[in-house]
Structure 1
Amino acid sequence: MRLQNVEFFLLFLFLFKYSNALRDTCPIGCKCDEDIQQVTCEGQQVVTLPDRLPSGYEILIIRNSSVRTIEKNSFRKMEKLVQIEFENNPNLGTVEKLAFKGLKKIRLIKFTGCPGLTELQKNAFSGIQNQVGLKIVFEKTPIHRIEGHTFRNAQNIRELTISGEELALSRHCFANINQLDFLTVSGVVLIEPEIFTNSTRFHVVHFKNSQFDIPPQTFSSLSHTSHLLIEHSKVPSIAPDAFSGLTTIQVIELHACQLGTISARAFANVENLGELKILRNTIGDLDTSESIMSKALKTRMEENTLECNCGMKWMTSVEEMSDINFCSTTASFRSIRSFVKAKCLHNTSQKTQRKSNHLPSISGVSRGFSPSILLISITILLRFRDFRI
């Protein structure tokens, strides 16, 4: 009996050591660098992600592979991973929901040169549960669409950078994010309303190098944000209530953009706004003085070049605006105040006179003719009456 126990113990010890040896073996098709604790899986022969890594390894690089899909729970046995990078993987096209679930120590997830990855699906980056600041970066990866709730319940994200291509942002695409320090998005061509529903504690939200209209309530529910910046972009129209629903925002800034029409009340209904900055833009049209109306403690509208017309006359009532915003190149970049003095007063009187000449009412006729002409007309009428008699 004792002999059997000894044999059983020896068998158990052998299996334990064998399993440990397997666990510490580098995955097939990969190279393991013990000095930097990095596993690199490279080459077209790599068609799937490894299901495990040697114990203690913290970095996984997938490079030039034939991997097509990052499946659900792909890293469930790699809880110690700190960094995952996908480099030059032309066949990678899908990130399934909960793909990165359970990576509590992860600090970087990066996609570089993955041309087949054009869409981010719902819940693809949910369930990560990271305990430290996480960077998620897309470079040279032409994301065309981000579906709603792609980052649902994501937390403690240090940086989310998406360099898309003809990128469409679906409703709720950045919804339900608990904390995100720096969001940078470029290449946007479409933004649907309410992309930030139930998201809080964003430090900087930065859109750049894009071309999109801003519909009503685009940023609704976004709160406790330091800086909302739209920069170096073409924005054909900013709708009424485009920024409504924002709460506790330190700065909203439009900088160095080509703006089409800023509608009346575009910045209305922003609660607890510190500063509205409209700087160094080219602006096609401001509907009314309400186009820049907000509840901001401070408004700066400076060094903008506008397509000037007589509708800009209202800006002369605000001295700093009329002196530091300019007319387009046809007016040689004169200030708004100079443009109004030189053109609008004269043109307005001529326009009024032309309009009055076409009014059919008696009052309109009396305004359109001089007293002498009116007297001659009456005399002709009286003579015509006498002739008939």
Structure 2
Amino acid sequence: MVCWWLAWVVLVGGARAFCPRGCSCDDSGPSLRCVGVGINVVPTLVNPGLRSLNLAHNSISSVSHTLVYFAQLEELDFSHNLLASLGTSNFHKQVELRELRLAHNNLSSLSVGALLGLTSLSLLDLSHNAISELPPDVLLDAPDLKVLLLAHNKLHTLFQHTFRGPRSLHVLDLCDNYFRHVPTAAVEELTALKALQLCRNRLTRLESNALCLPSLLSLSLETNSIDYVADASFSCLQRLLKLNINDNLLREVPTAALVSLVLLESLHLSRNKIRSLEAGAFRGLGHLTTLEVSRCPLLSLLQPAALAECFSLQELTLSHNPLVKHIPLGFLSSLPRLRSLDLRANGLRSFPSSEVTWRSLVSLDLRDNPMVCNCSLQWLAEVLGAANTSLLAPDLQCAAPDKLRGVYLSR
């Protein structure tokens, strides 16, 4: 057996390796791409020096004892196959593997030892499987793991020490699972984590210190059922730059919790049950550059000082809120760096020119508002009709009076 193996290595070293029917082979890589060719086993009579092996969209159901010939692999793609288990020690030869893609299979669990040998692994994609449990220390054999994708599985809880092993995991995607509570104990070991995705789960509350991740820069909590945010929910996230809480059940801006996020640059609060933006709602957020509060069907009241401390704001999206009937004087006047203002599809009947710092504004969208075209909008008609303006402002139609209904304002 050993002699045969050595002979094969010598053979492929001096001649073109066998390439299975329907596959694409590149000996300069070397790489092998057998995507959607109908195979149900891993081809073994190919170049053992492969660095990239793509077997996606096939019917492979097992990896047992099939990868021992490929010790130089750096990229391996088994996505869209029929794998139900990885077993243990089946990757023990892949010490150079950097990317392992296993999305869209039938995996229901991962055993300790399944990743044995993957000491160089940087990316592991386990999304779109049926994984319901991950045991403690399951990642112990992947110390260099940077990106772990677990979206679209059946996880509802995580054990403490589940993520023990990787020294510098940077990205963790847990979207589209069944979490009812933030897995605090499991993630607290991820001191180097920079991006955490918990979107489309079943979270209802954010308790105090739910996430103590000192390096976290981006947090997505989109599309849950969160209706309570404790004042100290974000107190351990002082480096956070981006927070997405779109599509939840918040009844107000969680001001007391947000005040801890002194470096926050991007905040998304759309599709919530927020009724008002109170004075000082975003206090302490002096670094905020992007704010989105759209599609909130109950939002009706905008207090003049709601954005008073957002002096770095450059993009404001406050659209599709039908109960927002007017912009109060002073609401926008404290935003000297505002470049993009989206007020589309609200209930606005007028818009005063004094509200915007025109020196910095480059984009203004007021479409789909029930605008009353009278003398108070003459300034806007001139702006929209000007040929030499640098402002990007789509034309809008008058809703009243009746004789001007449907007429474009610039005309």
TM-score normalised by length of structure 1: 0.57
**Partner AA of 1:20 in structure 2:** L
The match for 2:51 among 50, 54, 58 is: 58
> Which residue number corresponds to residue 240 of structure 1?
230
> Which residue number corresponds to residue 75 of structure 2?
83
How many residues were matched structurally?
A: 311
Distance 2:268 2:324 in 1: 19
SS state of the match for residue 278, structure 1?
Answer: strand
**Partner AA of 1:196 in structure 2:** V
> Which residue number corresponds to residue 7 of structure 2?
21
Distance 1:335 1:108 in 2: 51
Distance 1:136 1:69 in 2: 18
**Partner AA of 2:192 in structure 1:** R
Alpha-carbon distance, 1:198 to partner: 1.0
Deviation track 1:310-333 (CA, whole Å, cap 9, x = no partner) reads 9x89x66645389x7979856245
The match for 2:195 among 195, 204, 210 is: 204
Alpha-carbon distance, 1:188 to partner: 3.4
The match for 2:148 among 138, 160, 165 is: 160
Whether 2:243 is the aligned partner of 1:253: answer yes
**Partner AA of 1:37 in structure 2:** P
> Which residue number corresponds to residue 381 of structure 1?
none
Distance 1:109 1:218 in 2: 33
The match for 1:225 among 216, 219, 238 is: 216
Matched-pair contact (CA < 8 Å) for 1:143–1:163 = no
TM-score normalised by length of structure 2: 0.55
Distance 1:97 1:65 in 2: 22
Matched-pair contact (CA < 8 Å) for 1:216–1:244 = no
SS state of the match for residue 20, structure 1?
Answer: helix
> Which residue number corresponds to residue 136 of structure 1?
124
SS state of the match for residue 249, structure 2?
Answer: strand
**Higher helix fraction: Structure 1 or Structure 2?**
1
Alpha-carbon distance, 1:81 to partner: 1.2
Matched-pair contact (CA < 8 Å) for 2:299–2:321 = no
Whether 2:169 is the aligned partner of 1:177: answer no
- Relative to structure 1, the CA distance from residue 226 to residue 309 in structure 2 (aligned partners, 3 Å threshold; closer, same or farther) is closer
Matched-pair contact (CA < 8 Å) for 2:275–2:298 = no
SS state of the match for residue 241, structure 2?
Answer: strand
The match for 1:68 among 61, 67, 76 is: 61
Cα root mean square deviation, aligned: 5.1
Gaps of 5+ in 2: 311-315, 332-411
Distance 1:53 1:98 in 2: 22
Distance 1:34 1:261 in 2: 54
> Which residue number corresponds to residue 134 of structure 2?
147
SS state of the match for residue 6, structure 2?
Answer: helix
- Relative to structure 1, the CA distance from residue 167 to residue 22 in structure 2 (aligned partners, 3 Å threshold; closer, same or farther) is same
> Which residue number corresponds to residue 361 of structure 1?
none
> Which residue number corresponds to residue 359 of structure 1?
none
Alpha-carbon distance, 1:70 to partner: 4.3
> Which residue number corresponds to residue 273 of structure 2?
284
Matched-pair contact (CA < 8 Å) for 1:213–1:235 = yes
Matched-pair contact (CA < 8 Å) for 1:79–1:104 = yes
Matched-pair contact (CA < 8 Å) for 2:54–2:77 = yes
Task: Please say which of residues 102-111 and 17-26 is displaced more in the overlay.
Answer: 17-26
Distance 1:212 1:186 in 2: 11
Equivalent runs, 1:232-381 vs 2, <5 Å: 233-240=223-230, 243-244=233-234, 246-254=236-244, 257-261=246-250, 267=257, 274-275=263-264, 277-285=266-274, 298=287, 302-305=291-294, 306=296, 318=306, 320=308, 329=321, 331-332=323-324, 334=326
- Relative to structure 1, the CA distance from residue 177 to residue 249 in structure 2 (aligned partners, 3 Å threshold; closer, same or farther) is farther
Alpha-carbon distance, 1:181 to partner: 3.9
> Which residue number corresponds to residue 370 of structure 1?
none
Distance 1:176 1:120 in 2: 15
> Which residue number corresponds to residue 343 of structure 1?
none
**Partner AA of 2:83 in structure 1:** L
Distance 1:280 1:69 in 2: 44
SS state of the match for residue 57, structure 1?
Answer: coil
Q: Report the identity percentage.
A: 12
**Partner AA of 1:147 in structure 2:** L
Matched-pair contact (CA < 8 Å) for 2:282–2:306 = no
> Which residue number corresponds to residue 368 of structure 2?
none
Distance 2:251 2:230 in 1: 8
> Which residue number corresponds to residue 107 of structure 2?
117
- Relative to structure 1, the CA distance from residue 292 to residue 51 in structure 2 (aligned partners, 3 Å threshold; closer, same or farther) is farther
Deviation track 1:33-88 (CA, whole Å, cap 9, x = no partner) reads 46243456765552xx57897542223344566543445x9756643111111143
